[in-house]
Amino acid sequence: MSRRSKTLSCPDEQATGNIAEALGAGLRPGDTVLLEGGIGAGKTFFARHLIQSLLLVPEDVPSPTYTLVQVYDAAPGEIWHCDLYRLSDPSQCIELGLEDAFDTAICLVEWPDRLGSLAPVGALTITLAATGTEGARALELSWTDPKWETRLEGVAT
- Smallest gap from Cβ 132 to other proteins, in A, equals 10
| Separation between Cα atoms, residue 100 and residue 58, nearest integer Å | 26
Residues 75-104 that bind other proteins (CB under 8 A): 86-88, 92, 95-97
DSSP 75: T
48 is a site residue for other proteins (CB under 8 A): yes
**Does 28 engage in binding with other proteins (CB under 8 A)?**
no
Min separation Cβ 19 and other proteins, Å: 13
Part of the chain binding other proteins (CB under 8 A), chosen from 26-34, 59-67, 102-110, 115-123? 59-67
Q: Check binding of 52 to other proteins (CB under 8 A).
A: yes
Q: At what angle do helices 13-26 and 43-54 cross, to 10 degrees?
A: 50
Alpha-carbon distance of 157 to 136, in angstroms, equals 12
Pairing of strands 137-143, 124-130: antiparallel
- Contacts of other proteins in 106-145 (CB under 8 A): 130, 134
* Terminal-to-terminal C-alpha distance of the chain: 26
Q: Interface with other proteins by CB under 8 A: which range of 57-65, 108-116, 119-127, 146-154?
A: 57-65
Question: What is the spatial distance between Cα 130 and Cα 41, in angstroms, rounded to a whole number?
Answer: 6
**In angstroms, how far is CA 39 from the centroid of its own chain?**
15
d(CA 24, CA 27): 5
Which residue in the set 10, 23, 27, 61 belongs to the binding site for other proteins (CB under 8 A)? 61
Residues near other proteins (CB under 8 A) are: 13-14, 17, 38-40, 42, 44-45, 48-49, 52-53, 55, 58-63, 65-71, 86-88, 92, 95-97, 130, 134
